[in-house]
Amino acid sequence: MLSVHEVTTAYQGLVAISAVSIEVAKGEIVCVAGANGAGKSTLLKSIAGAERPRSGTVTFDGARIDGMAQHVITARGIAYVPENRRLFPRLSVRDNLRLGSYLYRGEADRDEPLDLVFKLFPRVVGAAGAARRNAVRRRAADAGDRPRADDAAAALDAGRAVAGHHAKTGR
């Protein structure tokens, strides 16, 4: 479904990722993990079209997508959730989600996926965590059943992670 082969991406001449390859089959869940500055976000941006690889190829559903405009890649089904959320704070959650489903504005069942998104991502109290989950919800609304690239570290709820660590270790 998704194939990244020998992708190198640079910022102003400085190589951020070099010759990265990854294969993701349909239905497979893959986690890209690493330290700050390791290139996780750059890889995801390179896949989603937010950054252009200097070399290498990105193939999705059998077609090359590297070099395509980001909105074209999004229309094909790959969505990127940036760490900084990019929400409209004065809009309701539903209105933010409707913006995320803009590509489907002409379809009669445009709001149907939003109901599914609310079932998959129930509301949780906490401003920062809620804003992050809303960003993920918005991308889920525009990606349908397609892959969503997310900065996983930013999506973690630190309080839950610490509580889970304490429960497992007793510390």
**How buried is 18 (Cβ within 10 angstroms: 0-12 exposed, 13-18 middle, 19+ buried)?**
middle
Q: Residue 127's pLDDT is what?
A: 45
Torsion of CA 117, 118, 124, 128, to 10 degrees: 50
**Amino acid in position 64:** R
Confidence at residue 84, expressed as pLDDT on a 0 to 100 scale = 65
Tell me, what's the pLDDT at 136?
Answer: 63
Q: How far apart are the first and last CA of the chain?
A: 42
Spatial distance between the Cα atoms of 47 and 53, rounded to a whole number of angstroms: 9
Q: Domains for the chain: give ranges and CATH numbers.
A: 1-76 (3.40.50.300), 78-166 (no CATH)
Instruction: Say if residues 91 and 99 touch (Cβ distance below 8 Å).
Output: yes
What per-residue confidence (pLDDT) applies to 126?
Answer: 40
Single pTM value for the model? 0.63
Residues of the chain under the 70 pLDDT cut: 83-86, 123-171
Q: What local confidence, expressed as pLDDT, does residue 40 receive?
A: 93
- pLDDT for 146 equals 58
pLDDT at res. 79 = 81
